[in-house]
Amino acid sequence: MYQISDFSKISHTSIQTLRYYDSLNLLKPSHINQENSYRYYTDDQLNELKVIRKLKTMGFTLIEISEIIKDYNEKYLIRQIENLKKQNNLNKVHIIELDSIVKCMKNNNTNVKKELISLINRKKETNMKENYEIARKKLVECYKMYKENQTSDCLVLLEEIKNDIFKAEESVDPFWSNSAGDLFTGITFEVFKNNDEKEVNFLNIFNFRIKGNDFINSIKEYTDKLDKDSYSYICLSNVSEAPNDTKLSIISVYKQYMKNYVIFETKN
């Protein structure tokens, strides 16, 4: 389980929003510590948040979403399809998606929640595959620049890759995505410096794998051995010198952003 602060970072949802959802009985904590009133959330509740966000994009109000989540009855979806048709604007995609969910429910004897999550995951996988393929090409190009001593161009492209992957949600403190992004650039540059081309991939970057050894859990020890004026040290020192709880949270956010790229890496 995650404390609300960690769940906020991982889910890219502000603590204020999570508390508001709790007050609406929209997404209540899985557990509340009776001694200190700390709220705790689970991995399964990440899917619940995805459903809430998807329904919001489809035009449902939070009150309507709360009603839908109570019993996941398709009547709300059917009513929204009719509402969107009457508006006669740019809601055709949502109409198609809602209609598809209703049909799948009838054909497969499933519920709204299951079909929404299935739809979300299909769209996410398609988008993530495209993002992965673009980022993978840039990574290879960036490594070649490094090997050809085009260091300035290499670092510019590396920053571009970082910005592509670690996009901060508007509702979340950018400190976490920025810190995770700096961790990425520092690790990637060290992977460039110490590994062969075949070992330059998102899986090795995810694990901070240098010549077969993983340093993701010993970043401070690794960073302390670097030249203090080096690019890698500048990127990694903000993380390595942070208090232990902060450091662990940054690594957790880093892994959350990186995991989809690693999934596609392992499929190839």
Q: Evaluate whether residue 116 is within a structural domain.
A: no
Residues in contact with 45: Cβ distance below 8 Å, sequence separation at least 6, in sequence order: 7, 27, 30
97: tokens are 């998606």
- Write down the pLDDT at residue 143: 95
Three-state DSSP at 95 gives helix
pLDDT-derived band at 210 (thresholds 50, 70, 90) equals: very high
Partner residues linked to 210 by β-bridges: 213
Is 143 in the same domain as 66?
no
Q: Whose CA is closest to 12, among 202, 258, 257, 239?
A: 257
Q: Evaluate whether residue 206 is within a structural domain.
A: yes
Query: pLDDT tens across 169-188, in order?
Result: 555 578 888 999 999 999 99
Three-state DSSP at 241 gives coil
> Does residue 145 or residue 126 have the better pLDDT?
145
pLDDT-derived band at 267 (thresholds 50, 70, 90) equals: low
Is 156 in the same domain as 237?
yes
- What range defines the domain where residue 10 resides? 1-45+62-70
Q: Which amino acid is at 103?
A: K
- Write down the pLDDT at residue 220: 94
- Beta carbons within 10 angstroms of residue 230's beta carbon: 16
Q: Evaluate whether residue 156 is within a structural domain.
A: yes
Q: Evaluate whether residue 204 is within a structural domain.
A: yes
Dihedral of the alpha carbons of 179, 209, 262, 186, in degrees to the nearest 10: 30
Mean pLDDT taken over the chain? 86
Please give the Cα distance from 150 to 165 (Å, whole number).
23
Is residue 120 within 8 Å of residue 127, measured between CB atoms? Answer: no
- Write down the pLDDT at residue 22: 92
Is 66 in the same domain as 161?
no
142 Cα distance to chain centroid: 23
Please give the Cα distance from 250 to 239 (Å, whole number).
7
Three-state DSSP at 195 gives coil
Percent of the chain predicted with pLDDT > 70: 91
Strand positions, DSSP E, 196-248 = 209-210, 213-214
Beta strand 39-41 with 2-3: parallel, antiparallel or unpaired?
antiparallel
CATH code at 11?
1.10.1660.10
Is residue 110 within 8 Å of residue 104, measured between CB atoms? Answer: yes
Is 151 in the same domain as 247?
yes
- Span 87-97, average pLDDT: 69
| Overall domain count for the chain | 2
Is 131 in the same domain as 234?
yes
Is 142 in the same domain as 66?
no
Is 132 in the same domain as 262?
yes
Q: Evaluate whether residue 88 is within a structural domain.
A: no
> Does residue 67 or residue 153 have the better pLDDT?
153
Is 38 in the same domain as 141?
no
Domain boundary residue, one of 70, 86, 113: 70
pLDDT-derived band at 126 (thresholds 50, 70, 90) equals: low
Residues in contact with 145: Cβ distance below 8 Å, sequence separation at least 6, in sequence order: 151, 153, 154, 157
Q: Evaluate whether residue 245 is within a structural domain.
A: yes
- Span 231-235, average pLDDT: 95
Is residue 191 within 8 Å of residue 200, measured between CB atoms? Answer: yes
- Span 50-61, average pLDDT: 84
Is 134 in the same domain as 31?
no
Is 142 in the same domain as 256?
yes
pLDDT-derived band at 89 (thresholds 50, 70, 90) equals: low
Q: Evaluate whether residue 161 is within a structural domain.
A: yes
> Does residue 73 or residue 102 have the better pLDDT?
102
Region of residue 27 (left: phi > 0; alpha: psi -120 to 50; beta: else): beta
Confidence check: pLDDT of 90 > 60: no
Residues in contact with 200: Cβ distance below 8 Å, sequence separation at least 6, in sequence order: 139, 140, 143, 191, 192
Domain boundary residue, one of 29, 54, 70: 70
- Write down the pLDDT at residue 223: 96
> Does residue 92 or residue 154 have the better pLDDT?
154
Is 20 in the same domain as 130?
no
Please give the Cα distance from 150 to 183 (Å, whole number).
22
- Write down the pLDDT at residue 116: 77
- Write down the pLDDT at residue 260: 81
- Span 67-75, average pLDDT: 77
Please give the Cα distance from 244 to 199 (Å, whole number).
29
Is 140 in the same domain as 36?
no
Q: Evaluate whether residue 130 is within a structural domain.
A: yes
